[in-house]
Chain A
Amino acid sequence: MASINYAFKEISCKIVFYGPGLSGKTTNLQYVHLKIPAKSRGELISLATDQDRTLYFDFLPLDIGKIHGFSTKFQLYTVPGQVYYNATRKLVLRGVDGLVFVADSQKSKMDENVESLQNLADNLGEYGYSREKIPLVFQYNKRDLSLLNSVEELQQALNPKGYPHFESVATKGVGVFDTLKCISKLVLDQAKRKELFPDRKMEVVEADKISPERTPSPVATAGQATEAAILSPADAPTPTAQTTVVEEETVPVAEKRTTPREVAQENEPEVGLKVEEVPQKEGDPMVQPPRQESPTVISWSAGKSGKRAKGRGFFLWRLLNKLLNR
């Protein structure tokens, strides 16, 4: 989770590049390290094997400078992509504030992409993190190779919920900064909502709930235009981002409340309770089976969900007792 230091007026956020082996996660960081001026970044640290495969993580600190009085820092991490290193991969996810899923666009790699995405969901689940609360951006890498899956196929298989996505050629830098800018903005928006402005009422809704006229324009088109100028115009990626954060959005609540206490909790905007209506979609690898049981998910915390179940049980138990006493 983000570290917010009011004494030093400093925010530090952790962004993790996830994805299957050899999809280009480290290459993303290497390109960022190469292009960002030395005053705004630290050294790129790679804990790699002798064959230059990531063993534990790559780490690149970025100093964005002051944003509205707060010195803002990002820590970019990659995970080891190979299936074998799941133990270390899971450790890197600890305290993650934002995720970039780097998928390999080649047809032959589709199964590995799906498996890695499922592994991400599993590992987040093991930490008790709610997938819906962590900003996520997809990057479809290696768009310059032949025998590729189309973006539509990749979207259908990996991103049916329509998180922001970018096409990229990480070795040439195409799409790298667009991805980074998008995830940075989502992460800081979230940090701001949670800690800097706790009295601000905001809701996160699904992308498909945003009406077309309210959908913000794609992020980082300026960066893409510059990249297109560096490469050939034909290589310019199409801006495809859809921002999923909407301010002051009200979301219908379909589920019936059972106790007054829960209703009271619902009515307190300061505590940051988010109600998200998640339409059931088959084949979405990010949604874990237990969460598909109900079409409405109340995003609160594990503890509160527990109390909710306990509350219902208690109510039924009292009802049963009353009947038996009669």
Chain B
Amino acid sequence: MKQEDLVIYEEQIEKIEGALKRLIKDAQAKCVLLVDKDGHLITRQGFTQSLDTTALAALLAGSFASTREIARLVGEPEFSVLFHQGKKDHIHITLVGERTILAVIFDDRTTIGMVRLYAKETSEDLERILSLAHREEAMAKPEGKTDRGSEFSTSLESRLDDIFSEQP
């Protein structure tokens, strides 16, 4: 396949979360989500308790994918920024590198200009953190890769049996 699985390591996530926290503070946003283009949520920061972030991540990725197709049809390689304006809350979506999307949810305490400025900066930071060099550096660490296969299979079988057995 053309693309590998997206793998995030602990060292990366600390840096990513640091960058997202700075973005929330600087841009005075409500919350931010980092999502991969396939619709998986990577991480989130801010007031996300009341949000269904899993669904939001899938829909953001879907929205971005359809916009990219629209771009292609009108002869653009990609629309790298999307903005949805609501009555109270607004969403600003930026492309980060090749594989991830940064969504900033904000209200009228701040302005689109501020969000755009800091989102662009953060997007560049995140691109660097997610880059291959960092990934390889993190991969050199053995942590998290010590599990063995046979135990995984047994554990998997029993979990799937539990969850997918016919419910009453």
Q: State the Cβ distance, A85 to closest chain B Cβ, in Å.
A: 11
Bound Cα distance A54, B43 (Å):
29
Partner of A61, one of B10, B12, B54, B65: B54
Partner of A64, one of B8, B9, B153, B159: B159
Closest B residue, CB atoms, query A247? B149
- Which residues of chain A in 109-148 are interfacial with respect to chain B, using CB atoms and an 8 Å cutoff? 127-130, 133-134
Assess whether A4 is in contact with B39, with CB atoms less than 8 Å apart: no
Q: State the Cβ distance, B153 to closest chain A Cβ, in Å.
A: 8
A17 at the interface (CB under 8 A from B): no
B13 CB contacts on chain A under 8 angstroms = 5, 7-8
In this complex, the member of B40, B41, B145, B155 whose beta carbon has the largest number of chain A beta carbons within 10 angstroms is: B40
- Which residues of chain B in 87-146 are interfacial with respect to chain A, using CB atoms and an 8 Å cutoff? 143-145
11 pairs from A and B in contact (CB 8 Å cutoff): A3-B42, A4-B7, A6-B7, A43-B55, A59-B58, A64-B160, A72-B159, A73-B54, A92-B62, A189-B153, A222-B165
Closest B residue, CB atoms, query A303? B2
How many residues on B have C-beta within 8 angstroms of the other chain's C-beta atoms? 50
Bound Cα distance A87, B65 (Å):
10
Assess whether B160 is in contact with A302, with CB atoms less than 8 Å apart: no
Other contacts beyond A3-B38, A4-B8, A94-B37: 14, CB < 8 A: A1-B6, A2-B5, A3-B6, A6-B8, A14-B38, A67-B159, A95-B37, A130-B1, A185-B160, A194-B5, A197-B145, A223-B165, A223-B166, A227-B166
B147 CB contacts on chain A under 8 angstroms = 68-69, 196-197
A305 at the interface (CB under 8 A from B): no
A27 at the interface (CB under 8 A from B): no
